[in-house]
Amino acid sequence: MDPDQLPALETDRLRLRAPTAEDVDFIANLYARPEVARFIGDGRTERTREQALARIERYRSFAGATTGVWLASCAVDGEPRGIMLLKPIPVSADVDPEPQPEIEIGWHLHPDAQGRGYAAEAAEALVEHARTVGLETLVAVAHPENRASHRVAERIGMAHRGTTDRYYGTTVELFTLEL
Ligand SMILES: CC(C)(COP(=O)(O)OP(=O)(O)OC[C@H]1O[C@@H](n2cnc3c(N)ncnc32)[C@H](O)[C@@H]1OP(=O)(O)O)[C@@H](O)C(=O)NCCC(=O)NCCS
């Protein structure tokens, strides 16, 4: 799918759309924050404009019928607040993947925007979108210490399934939602 055709989503306080290269300053700032990078991927911050542009391209490439990565901005002032994701979740090296890729829901909020319930609010819009496009199940995974992320998953009605080594080659807390 052309990333610019990714359906726009909205909530009471947020507007969600595909990120573009024009969002590079925000994306660079977001992933340069240790408190954001800590529980994402290898935990290392990204500090260069090139890394941010590469991330935007990667995120745009997820645009699809049942997947996508959205930039969430404030409905009032248009300021970017974070990134929301629906994407195939990578399984660990020794795991047989399902015939249909499992779709992960994820949330990366800027520290200035955290603590105000934005992640759960935006996640509800992604869940609704996932239902609309016919997905049957969503998974979310989080570092065992990432309590805020666990709470977001619980707030949107996901069931906590305990810890698993099935994804990302590491041990994570697993949450699932039947749509
Ligand atoms: C995880 C994250 C998206 C939460 O977003 P948020 O909009 O700040 O979340 P909320 O304000 O809705 O808070 C969610 C819940 O977590 C709780 N919480 C927040 N920080 C917490 C902490 N450090 N320890 C325990 N609970 C915490 C809040 O009290 C709230 O609980 P409630 O639902 O009972 O009221 C945000 O912290 C973030 O982007 N972190 C960095 C990136 C990241 O780790 N992403 C997830 C990777 S799996």
pLDDT of residue 158: 98
Q: What is the mean pLDDT of the chain?
A: 97
| Three-class secondary structure of residue 15 per DSSP | strand
Q: Residue with the nearest Cα to atom 31 of ligand 1? A: 151
97 DSSP 8-state letter: P
Per-residue pLDDT band at 130 (split at 50, 70, 90): very high
The arithmetic mean of pLDDT across residues 21-47, rounded, is 96
Q: Are 174 and 141 in contact (CB under 8 A)?
A: yes
Per-residue pLDDT band at 10 (split at 50, 70, 90): very high
Q: Residue with the nearest Cα to atom 43 of ligand 1? A: 108
pLDDT of residue 131: 98
pLDDT of residue 175: 98
Task: Calculate how far, in angstroms, residue 14's C-alpha sits from the geometric centre of ligand 1.
Answer: 17
Beta bridge partners of 80: 73
Residue 38 backbone zone (phi > 0: left; psi -120 to 50: alpha; other: beta): alpha
Report the CATH number at residue 58: 3.40.630.30
Task: Calculate how far, in angstroms, residue 96's C-alpha sits from the geometric centre of ligand 1.
Answer: 31
The arithmetic mean of pLDDT across residues 57-85, rounded, is 98
The arithmetic mean of pLDDT across residues 149-156, rounded, is 98
Sign of the C-alpha dihedral computed for residues 69, 6, 63 and 91 taken in this order = positive
Per-residue pLDDT band at 22 (split at 50, 70, 90): very high
Percent of the chain with pLDDT over 70: 100
Structural domain count of the chain: 1
d(CA 59, CA 84): 10
Is any atom of ligand 1 closer than 6 Å to the C-beta of 120? yes
Helical segments of 63-146, H only: 118-132
The arithmetic mean of pLDDT across residues 108-115, rounded, is 97
pTM of the model: 0.96
Per-residue pLDDT band at 137 (split at 50, 70, 90): very high
Which string of DSSP letters, residue by residue, matches 94-150?
Answer: TSPPPSSPPEEEEEEE-GGGTTSSHHHHHHHHHHHHHHHTT--EEEEEE-TT-HHHH
The arithmetic mean of pLDDT across residues 112-128, rounded, is 98
Task: Tell me the residue type at 24.
Answer: V
d(CA 145, CA 155): 17
pLDDT of residue 70: 98
Task: Calculate how far, in angstroms, residue 1's C-alpha sits from the geometric centre of ligand 1.
Answer: 31
Is any atom of ligand 1 closer than 6 Å to the C-beta of 119? yes
Neighbours of 52 (CB within 10 A): 23
d(CA 29, CA 54): 14
Q: Residue with the nearest Cα to atom 23 of ligand 1? A: 148
Task: Calculate how far, in angstroms, residue 115's C-alpha sits from the geometric centre of ligand 1.
Answer: 6
Is any atom of ligand 1 closer than 6 Å to the C-beta of 142? yes
Pocket-testing residue among 29, 105, 109, ligand 1, by greatest number of atoms within 8 A of Cβ: 109
Which H or E element spans position 72?
A: strand 68-74
pLDDT of residue 169: 95
d(CA 28, CA 37): 11
Domain that holds residue 109: 3-178
Task: Calculate how far, in angstroms, residue 99's C-alpha sits from the geometric centre of ligand 1.
Answer: 32
